[in-house]
Amino acid sequence: MKSISNLSRRGTMISYEILEALQAHQKSSPFADRILAELRYACNLSLALDGKHDAVIEAALQALKAAADADGVITKSAALETERQLLPLQADAKQYRVHCVAHAHIDMNWMWGFQETVAVTVDTFRTVLNLMKEYPTLTFAQSQASTYEIIEKYAPAMLPEIRERVREGRWEVSASTWVEPDKNMPSGESLARHILYTKQYLSRLLEIPPESLTLDFEPDTFGHNVSVPEICAAGGVKYYYHCRGNADDRHAYVWRGRAGAELLCYREPYWYNAAIEPDMLWDIPMQCKEQGIGCMLKVYGVGDHG
């Protein structure tokens, strides 16, 4: 994540020094967390809009700092007053859209035996299904055909419920590979068969058309070889999500292979096991400006024993 000082060097006119000074109060109350996150977002918004809201934000920052210095904390009333002062930013602040996608990253083998992988998978799926009953608007995405095979073998009673959530559009099957493989070491045929076997298996198991499996979701894959666009395109996969690799500033991009095949890609700018927090959106305006888009993706969830 870019630091506030980095943004300052990029030419912003906002007084980031004041915002930095207020960080000492960040954990003093939920309202402190909230207003400081809003102010960071506001600063980034004004930066993306060439300083459009600098004066309003600086005035709000000065007033909040004075109140915090006097009270020793950021109080609820001070936070609400600062929010009132920021109301002129409302229309610009709401022009962006963020898609928050829940998922569970599960390593098939890492530092434990397969029996523990089975337990983690079954517990994760059961937890998600229970949460979906409790929260009717909750949606979820799960990759890796291997996780569904575990359910079929060790907890088959869950399958009708999963199929129903898939039909409702609340459970998205984000798998087009059997596991999250390294894509440098396996052969091209191995990677192609990942797609083939995954589509055949999941279309049968979950009663979905194989052509609906168009996303290669690889948050923890380290290697991404040059032939991935051709292999994915040949298998009917159009989209690619990854976290590791391509460590530059591009997050939304088209990956064009040597033979001309293309994948629409999104590289995670943060981390795939993120949380929904007040501060999670602070640099969305500059990210959107730099990528030339109006929306961003926020992947959140747990992994393994989380």
Q: Are strands 252-256 and 262-267 parallel, antiparallel or unpaired?
A: antiparallel
Burial class of residue 64 in the structure, from the number of CB atoms within 10 Å of its CB (0-12 exposed, 13-18 middle, 19+ buried)? buried
Q: Which pLDDT does position 144 carry in this prediction?
A: 97
pLDDT tens for residues 238-296?
999 999 886 667 788 999 999 999 999 999 888 888 888 888 888 899 989 988 899 99
pLDDT higher than threshold 90 for residue 218: yes
The answer to whether 146 touches 178, Cβ cutoff 8 Å, is: yes
Residues 255, 239 contacting (CB under 8 angstroms): no
Residue 188: C-alpha distances to residues 185, 194, 269, 273 (Å): 9, 10, 28, 29
| Position 4 pLDDT exceeds 70 | no
User: Cα–Cα distance between 36 and 74 in angstroms, integer?
Assistant: 10
From the number of C-beta atoms within 10 Å of its C-beta (0-12, 13-18, 19+), residue 217 rates as buried
Q: Structure tokens of 302? A: 């747990």
Q: Name the strands in the sheet holding 215-218, side by side, starting at the edge strand that comes first in the sequence.
A: 215-218, 239-242, 262-267, 252-256
pLDDT exceeds 70 at position 3: no
**What backbone phi and psi angles, to 5 degrees, belong to 228?**
-55, -45
Q: What is the pLDDT of residue 274?
A: 84
Structural tokens at position 301: 């969830």
Question: Band of the pLDDT at 303, cuts 50, 70, 90?
Answer: confident
Q: What gap in Å lies between CA 43 and CA 282, rounded to an integer?
A: 8
- What pLDDT sits at residue 12? 54
* Per-residue confidence (pLDDT) for residue 177, from 0 to 100: 97
Determine the pLDDT at residue 279: 84
**What pLDDT does 9 receive?**
42
Chain segment 136-168, per-residue pLDDT in tens: 999 999 999 999 999 999 999 999 999 999 999
Q: Does residue 15 register a pLDDT over 90?
A: no
Dist CA 175 CA 276 (whole Å):
23
Write down the pLDDT at residue 43.
92
pLDDT of residue 247: 66
pLDDT class for 206, splitting at 50, 70, 90? very high
- The amino acid occupying position 1 is M
C-alpha 19/C-alpha 58 separation (Å) is 9
Amino acid identity for residue 96 in this structure: Y
pLDDT in tens, 86-108: 999 999 999 999 999 999 999 99
Q: Which residue has the higher pLDDT, 246 or 1?
A: 246
pLDDT tens profile 44-55 = 999 999 989 999
Token pair in block for residue 89: 């930013």
Which structural domains are found in the chain, ordered by start? Answer: 4-93 (no CATH), 97-303 (3.20.110.10)
Q: What are the structure tokens assigned to 292, written together?
A: 């030339």
